Structure 1
């Protein structure tokens, strides 16, 4: 089920034909799911603020839609360091996705 609070923002930057945008929740009232599937994209790199709310919701909703999620630990933050650490730990032990440092993703893309 898609959330009515999802907002798709314009792309922040582009990588070789792909776009990275800010998404709260996952794909509600947009054609994002269709565009990703038409390109064969099934892995999402997740980053953002309010880790225990917006980021967690995005991971859960994307996983429910059949996407694999990679949470970039250096690119996720919450209102306190303790809360960020707690949320990242939940991502590490929860089977909804995986975690990695941003540098590892950038190295893999090169």
Structure 2
């Protein structure tokens, strides 16, 4: 029987890598805690460190943990508001069509 291959979102990968980078804990500790392979987490950490380094060389500052949390909250809020707007557009079109009858 074959095992289903697990896939991880980019957000999950970044958050896992930031656990290692921000906390100063070893990759092995965090990998055990998350139940993933050390090599996999090591690649994610290396990718995140390269991203941070690239941001630093271009003059940008990487986001702090608080800023990342706020950004995620705002993205969720925007998504919810876009859904509300789409609903209200459909509702207004429905009522406009029924009003003319």
TM-score, reference length from structure 2: 0.27
Higher strand share: 1
* The structure with more radius of gyration: 2
Q: Which has the higher contact order (CA 8 A, sep 6+)?
A: 1
